[in-house]
Structure 1
Amino acid sequence: MHIGILGSLDNPYVMELQRAASANFPGMTTEVLRFADLQVGIGESAIERAVPLKGDGSSSTCTALIVRSMPIGSLEQVIFRMDCLQTWQSRGVAVHNPPRSLEIAIDKWLCLQRLSDAGVPVPATVCCQTRSAAMEAFEGLGGDVLVKPLFGGEGRGILRASDKDLAWRMFGTLQQLGQVLYVQQFVEHFGYDIRVLFVGDESYAIRRIAAEGEWRTNIAQGSRAEPHALSGEQADMALRARDSVGGSLLGVDLLPARDGRLLVLEVNAVPGWRGLSQTLKVDIAKAFLNWVAGER
């Protein structure tokens, strides 16, 4: 089995997948493909049969693609890259995660809407385009909000506003920059959240405890992790969140709130696993490749 990995050679998760394939799966080979090199074609072009193309224009023979990054690009580039994934999926290449799952998870609002439509509890959120609408949301959400980029992860670019004047300036700047204003009620919590990682039909869970003085619980923001045994409610909610997005490798973030609610913050379709793997002493790269091989 030959697997294409969309990412960069120095990406730690790409390297883990390569290591796991070489050490555990005789006959399995991998190659790293760059998003910038992706091409498709229709008609007389030989490119039509390239599923997918490598950077030198030759065709890769991979039967499965693993998406390990989604680089920043223009709107056209992002849409085209998703088109490429859809093309290869339609030609019989197993894409992990499928393009539709990536589209849903990458777009915070679309993901939140899917979760809500599936009956999964989520934080109160308003998505708008003007400062006046955002200020109305700020007041309506209690005057303590998180302002998040529509696209992005690992806690980067998230701002907290609990001061009206600060919120006014922040929303004005974002509007001038042409940004969509994603305004979410800040939920008082216990200083931790729960990351549930789904690998095929298996799930793994850790508790991510925020660093002192920090409200963000992302590992990338300095939180520490410890094993976590899911309650029945937590397991059921994580499963419903996973099913609302779809995919074979997904991270679901649960937040136990101080008021007793259990909320889903988001679903990540290109999740990291280093903190979880180290905490639980489990080889996630091996487990995922075992799933990919079984699916074929």
Structure 2
Amino acid sequence: MRIAVLSGGGGWHVLDLVRAARQLGHAAEPVDFRTVAAAVGTHPGPLAGFDAALVRTMPAGSLEQVVFRMDVLHAAVAAGVRVLNPPRAVETCVDKYLTSTRLAAAGLPTPPTHVSQTADAALDGFDRLGGDVVVKPLFGSEGRGMVRLTDRETAWRTFHALDRTGQVIYQQGFVRHPGWDLRAFVVGGKVLAGMRRTARGDWRTNVAQGGTAEQVELGDGAVSLAVRAAAAVGCPLAGVDLLPGPGGDLSVIEVNAVPGWRALAAVTGRDVAADVVRFLTEEYR
């Protein structure tokens, strides 16, 4: 099978996927999203010549560029190319508000959330959420751009700064957690592996923000929650982040449609990239 690994131009995960695919007997090559072109009626469709495509990262770009790239993925699926994750799932998970609505509609526990477009509305949401919130970029990952607000004056200044730059203000009530969360790596409706990520001098547990990782055997409740969360957003491949509250009950914090596994592979010893490629080539339709 010929596999395209779509990304912003390389990186560890791209190389790991290409390595795993080639070791499993497939032809694989990195494809930079920014170089993808398409034609209608005169040439083969986008990603012609590939049997499958793995979406690794979506590089930054203008609204038109990002929409076009998603259109290319939809067109590739229509042409019979296996695209993992499917474009609709990528569209859902890149948008935290849409992800939150899908999780809530599925009856899954997730922190109370308020989303607004003005500073005044955001301040009202801050009060409704108890005056202790985490503000996150609507589009973003790995804990980048998140800030915890506990003071109304600071919140007011922050919201006005976001308002002035035309940002959508997404905030969630802060979950008082024990300093760690769980990451479940879901592939094809099953949890492949799990790890516990512990914060280091901060409330953010993301490994990319300095948290440390260790392998953990997830309990039945965590496994069920992770699988249901991935299904709710339509992701055959997902990194699901679960956070324990004061009583130990888990909430779904995020579902990542392009999950990283560098730390997971290190602490579990699994060849996660090979697992992903096997699923794509042997099970995914």
State if a TM-score over 0.5 links the two structures.
Answer: yes
Asked if the contact 2:243–2:250 (Cα under 8 Å) also holds between the matched residues in 1, the reply is: yes
How big is the shift at 1:10? 3.3
**C-alpha contact (below 8 Å) 1:8/1:14 kept by paired residues:** no
> Could you say what secondary structure the match of 2:273 adopts?
helix
Measure how far apart 1:80 and its partner are.
1.0
Q: Is the 8 A contact 1:8 1:32 kept in 2?
A: no
**CA displacement at 1:245 relative to structure 2:** 1.1
Structure 1 CA distance for aligned equivalents of residues 280 and 248 of structure 2: 38
Alignment match, 1:216:
204
Question: Contact (CA 8 Å) 2:51, 2:81: kept in 1 or not?
Answer: yes
Tell me which residue corresponds to 1:99.
87
Residue 254 (structure 1) aligns with: 242
CA RMSD of aligned residues (A): 1.2
Partner of residue 177, structure 2: 189
Distance 1:260 1:19 in 2: 40
1:30: how far off? 0.7
Q: Which residue of 2 aligns with 1:10?
A: 10
Taking the TM superposition and a 5 Å limit, the aligned residue runs for 1:266-277 are 266-277=254-265
Is the CA contact (8 Å cut-off) linking 1:134 and 1:181 kept in structure 2? yes
Q: Which residue is 1:207 aligned to?
A: 196
* Counterpart Cα distance in 2 of 1:41 and 1:289: 29
Alignment of 1:19 with 2:14, yes or no, is no
Partner of 1:234: 222
Structure 1: 4+ residue segments shifted above 3 A: none
Moved more, 197-206 or 167-176: 197-206
Q: Residue 101 of structure 1 contacts residue 245 of structure 1 at CA under 8 Å; is this kept in 2?
A: yes
Taking the aligned partners of 1:22 and 1:31, their CA distance within structure 2 comes to 9
1:162 corresponds to: 150
The Cα shift of 1:227 comes to 1.4
1:51 aligns with 2:46: yes
Task: Give the SS at the match of 2:202.
Answer: coil
- The superposition leaves residues 134-154 of structure 1 with CA deviations (integer Å, 9 ceiling, x where unpaired) of 111111111111111000000
CA distance 1:87–1:191, shift in 2 (3 Å): same
1:38 is matched with which residue: 36, 39, 43? 36
Offset at 1:177? 0.2
1:201 positional shift = 4.1
Q: C-alpha separation between the residues in 2 aligned to 1:184 and 1:9?
A: 33
> C-alpha deviations, 1:10-55, integer Å up to 9, x for none?
31001001111222x12x1111111111222223x22xx1331xxx
Shift of 1:292: 1.1
**How far off its partner does 1:8 sit?**
4.4
The yes-or-no answer on 1:198 pairing with 2:186 is: yes
Deviation at 1:205, TM superposition (A): 0.7
Which residue among 40, 54, 59 is the counterpart of 1:71?
A: 59
**Per-residue deviation, 1:284:** 0.2
Give the partner amino acid of 2:108: V
1:219 Cα deviation from its structure 2 partner: 0.7
Q: 1:200 touches 1:288 (CA, 8 Å); kept in 2?
A: no
Query: More displaced, 71-80 or 92-101?
Result: 71-80
Question: How far is 1:9 from its partner?
Answer: 4.8
Following superposition of structure 1 onto structure 2, how do residues 103-182 of structure 1 map, counting pairs within 5 Å? 103-182=91-170
Q: Which residue of 1 aligns with 2:69?
A: 81
